[in-house]
Amino acid sequence: MKVLFVIPTAFALEPLGVMLLTAICKRHGHTTSLAILSKSDLVRRVAEFEPDVVAYSATSADAPVFKTADERLRTAMRQSGRRVFRIMGGPYPTFTPSVIDELELDAICQGEGDHAMPELLRRLEAGESIEGIPNIALTSAGAPLKELVQDLDAQPIPDRDEYYRVVPYYRISGMRSLITGRGCPYNCTYCFNQAFNDMFRGCGPILRRRSVENVLEEIEYMGKHYPPMRLVRFTDDTFAHGVDPWLEEFCEKYPRRIGLPFYCLMRSNTLTEDTARLLKQAGCHAVSMSIESGSEAIRNGILGRSLTDERVRESFAIAKRYGLRTFASTMLAIPGTSLKEDFESLEFVRRLKPTAPLFPIWTPYRGTQMWQQAVDAGLLDTGADVANWFNGASALNCYTPEEKNTQLRICFVGPLYVNAPRFLQPLLLRLIKSRIPIGLMLPPLAIYVTYRISTRIFPQGIPRSPSGLFHMIVETVKYMATRGEAQKP
């Protein structure tokens, strides 16, 4: 069968889930292609490729974009009389199964599609009933059977060919991404993982990991088939939970087999002296450690992070001692907080001095505990799909338009304020508190944030081709600036 995978936009971080499903489909003899909504017209791509199945991959923030594109596709199908099987996977349908009725989809995939997708295609091709496939829901009541994939080593290497065909300038980036495991043991209230753990409890271990050998084989494959590769980015929610046999084996073999700098995500409670020492010896160049709030009471009482101020400060001190650059995200406009707490977070981050700080606006992801709390408190319209996209204005109704604009100024000026020379900080603070329209600030500040992240956290990923570098800068700045305009206050 022919499957057209659809994602909303292209970015420097590869869509690993779709790449893996593409490889799985090809392994089972199917033909695939990719449509990126920000790059092409979906109706035209369907007419050109003539797929049997259109497979959307969506998060909550993507919902409005997909609804618009799918409405046009349904109109075209009614006019032409040609029907295409449409399925949506990803966090949005997993936690908002009502989308199957709203978009008149044929099915949704809730959770992992590694086994579900090839079985669905097999039955469609054979003309068999598609009822009872684990993780496949045919109604808004949700999937009757659920499954967690346990043998991650059995999966193929993600197929990057289609992605690089559509956005060839990302192929000449020196950064390649992969994931070594699945599952998260933490219960942060704003995160999909907490809701996912509840949904799939009883389906086997939540935490699963590929063998070190399997991971290294994929990296070697990427180096051979998708050069240049100068930086490896591990996308696991938490790369190491502590010093265990897996980490010790990885840190012993990686320098010998790969020998490239790498980037990974950690938590303040997992970046200890022991883990930092091992990571640095293995070649770790930078880590991401989210702060999320400068207030311990908010960080733990509202966000469920279970991290004291002392532990956060110590983890950044450890990173500095071992020469690990830090990429830190701190949320603004958290439900139950005020603008005062946003400024306290800004000052807390300034004292930590992460290499590349970010200040995203809290995004209300459907299905998460915090989303439900915001709805129950009357702070959020339950019927709205909020396209916050990281830098959009707060969707909460407890902030005035001017407060939302101030939060946006913290979002964009904050990274510059944290790392600016001391004599410039009072001026930047006044800029944040000013009434200058955020639209005037977006392009230059988006360029600064892009520059800071690229040169300090991912310098090895910067294309060495002038044309490739130009394309990536334009796409990244456009991504950040347009997301900032996604939802004006």
Which burial class, exposed, middle or buried, applies to 123 when counting CB atoms under 10 A from its CB (0-12, 13-18, 19+)? middle
Q: How big is the chain, counted in residues? A: 489
Same domain, 203 and 106: no
- How far apart are the C-alpha atoms of 157 and 99, rounded to whole Å? 30
In a domain, 337, yes or no: yes
User: Tell me, what DSSP letter sits at residue 389?
Assistant: T
Q: Does the residue 145 lie in any domain?
A: no
Residue that terminates a domain, selected from 137, 159, 181:
137
- β-strands 136-137, 175-178 pairing: unpaired
Give 473's Cβ-side CA count (13 Å radius). 16
116 and 174 together in one domain: no
Query: Is residue 154 domain-resident?
Result: no
Question: Domain range holding 72?
Answer: 2-137
Query: Does the residue 211 lie in any domain?
Result: yes
Predicted pLDDT at 477: 62
CB 326 within 8 A of CB 289: yes
- The enclosing domain of 14 has a CATH number of 3.40.50.280
Q: How many CB atoms lie within 10 A of CB 397?
A: 11
Residue 142 inside a domain? The answer is no
State the total domains in the chain.
Answer: 2
Same domain, 239 and 104: no
Among 137, 159, 190, residue at a domain's last position:
137
Nearest CA to 106 among 120, 92, 96? 120
From 137, 157, 187, give the residue that closes a domain.
137
Using an 8 Å Cβ cutoff, are 221 and 249 in contact?
Answer: no
399 found inside a domain: yes
Please indicate, yes or no, whether residues 120 and 182 belong to a single structural domain of this protein: no
Provide the residue-wise pLDDT of the chain in tens; the chain has 489 residues: 999 999 998 877 899 999 999 999 999 999 999 999 999 999 999 999 999 999 999 988 888 899 999 999 999 999 999 999 999 999 999 999 999 999 999 999 999 999 999 999 999 999 999 999 999 999 999 999 999 999 999 999 999 999 999 988 888 889 999 999 999 999 999 999 989 999 999 999 999 999 999 999 999 999 999 999 999 999 999 999 999 999 999 999 999 999 999 999 999 999 999 999 999 999 999 999 999 999 999 999 999 999 999 999 999 999 999 999 999 999 999 999 999 999 999 999 999 999 999 999 998 888 899 999 999 999 988 765 555 555 678 989 999 999 999 999 999 999 999 999 999 999 999 999 998 887 777 778 888 988 899 999 999 998 887 777 777 767 766 665 554 433 333
Could you tell me if residue 144 is inside a domain? no
In whole angstroms, give the CA distance from residue 450 to residue 356: 10
**64 lies in the same domain as 177:** no
- Non-local (6+) Cβ contacts of 421 within 8 A are none
Q: Are residues 131 and 184 in the same domain?
A: no
Residues 86 and 184 in one domain: no
Same domain, 381 and 459: yes
Q: Which residues touch 343 (CB under 8 Å, ≥6 apart)?
A: 410
Same domain, 110 and 196: no
Domain containing 254 — which CATH number? 3.80.30.20
Same domain, 119 and 262: no
Is residue 29 a part of any domain in this protein?
yes
| Tokens representing residue 390 in the block | 């990281």
Do 224 and 112 lie in a common domain? no
Residues 21, 118 within the same domain: yes
